[in-house]
Every structure is written in C-alpha cells, then in structure tokens.
Amino acid sequence: MERANLRRLVVMSLGAAVLLAAIIATAAADAELATSANLAFVPGESLALPAPTMAGGMPLMTALANRHSSREFSPDALPLQTLSDLLWAATGVNRPDTGKRTAATARNWQSLDVYVVTAAGTYRYEPAGHALVAVRPGDQRAATGAQPFVSEAAVNLVYVSDGAKMPGVEDAAQRALYDGTHAGIVAQNVYLFATSEGLAVVLRAMVDREALATALGLAESQKVVMAQSVGHPQAGS
C-alpha cells in the first residue's frame, strides 16, 4: 500500500475510533440517567416507573430469617428499577383486574398513600399507573425524621393516611388503629423487599408529624402515620 493511502487509512481508523468512543460515552451517560433515581422533577407531573419485576428475589423464608433494621446508609441513589420494584412491593397493584394491591387494607379502602422523599424531590406513589406524581421540589429528606441518617438514606417513604377514603370512621382511636395496621403491612412488605435486595431499611415512628405534614403540603384529611428509610447500606456496615 502506498504511503499516502496508508496514512489516510490510519487517520480514518483513528476518526472511527474517536467517534465510537463518543457514542459509547453518550450511551453510558444515557444509561446512567435512565437507571439513576436522580429523578426529573416537574411540578404536578407524573413520572412513569419502569414495569416492576414481580418475580425472583430471595426465598421468603430466607428473607424472614434475615430481616432486620439498619440505620447506616450510603448516600447513593437507588437505581430506578429498584425504586420501581420497591414501591410495587410496598403497595403496588398485584391484581390489575380488580386494582387490588400487595398490601391489604380494611374494606379495600386503599386509604394509605406512600410519599417518596428523595434528594431530587418529593413524590406520591400512584399504584394504579405505577407512577410517581411530583409533589414538592428539593431535598426534604431531613424533614422526614428526627434521626440524622434520614438525610443520608436514598429514599424516605412517608406513610400518609387519608380519612376522606375511610367512610364511617369518625372515632380517632379507631382511625389510629386502622392507620397503624395499614402502615405496618406496607412497612413489612418494604422490610422484606429491602432484605431480599441487600438494602438497609428502618421503620420510624420518631417523626415530627405536624412539621412533615406541612412540608408535604397535606390536606386536612391526611395524616402522617410513620416513615421508613431505605437505601444502600454504608460500606462495612
């Protein structure tokens, strides 16, 4: 091959290699954006979650044997698929024909909403569409509890009961009984999912409910019941 042709071939090969590297870098950045739970926040808009996995995971008896509370979190965001699976496990629709969920509620009231407080913003989980509805911009994690780790955990789930969805429940003690039971059922789903995924998790009653209700902009009929932190465990913990 002539020297000039050889030089042209080398230049073209180098150009192709640079182009290929740029394409790979862009694809990697896109993939990171798509899988990271650094969610986009558009007020009032709903963000579709990827379809939940609904299969696999740790055998149930192994998850029960390993379930425990952890209070040491790394600040890394959860992948979007993990967030999707977590919320579906918490209280997603598992029978689309009836709209019933992974978590039982008295008379199928479905009166417990899950608010999802992340570094990117606060959302409400919408089980019917398996989506996140943007509620409040900014990082409100510190408002979800009195313990310092709440600002580190990737996600703080806040369990909010809505009295407007509980017809006939007038008595405060009766409401508290239903609210606590509903939150407990969702919380155990979350404990078992987190155990299966090797995530750190702790349910929390130690919450300033009034302040958190204000931060979330809750309606008069809504009450904060409890919160639960979920995230990657701190290295070495």
Ligand X SMILES: Cc1cc2nc3c(=O)[nH]c(=O)nc-3n(C[C@H](O)[C@H](O)[C@H](O)COP(=O)(O)O)c2cc1C
The site for ligand X (CB under 6 A) is made up of: 68-69, 71, 147, 202-206
Residue 166 is encoded by which pair of tokens?
A: 């509980």
Closer residue to ligand X, CB minimum distance, 80 or 207: 207
CB of 87 to ligand X, least distance (A): 20
CB of 178 to ligand X, least distance (A): 15
Q: Which of 57, 52, 123 is nearest to 90 (CA)?
A: 52
d(CA 201, CA 72): 9
Closer residue to ligand X, CB minimum distance, 72 or 139: 72
CB of 201 to ligand X, least distance (A): 9
Closer residue to ligand X, CB minimum distance, 52 or 145: 145
Closer residue to ligand X, CB minimum distance, 4 or 173: 173
Cα torsion angle, 161, 165, 166, 168, sign: positive
Q: Which of 32, 82, 212, 204 is nearest to 136 (CA)?
A: 212
CB of 205 to ligand X, least distance (A): 4
Decide: 163 and 169 in contact? Cβ < 8 Å: yes
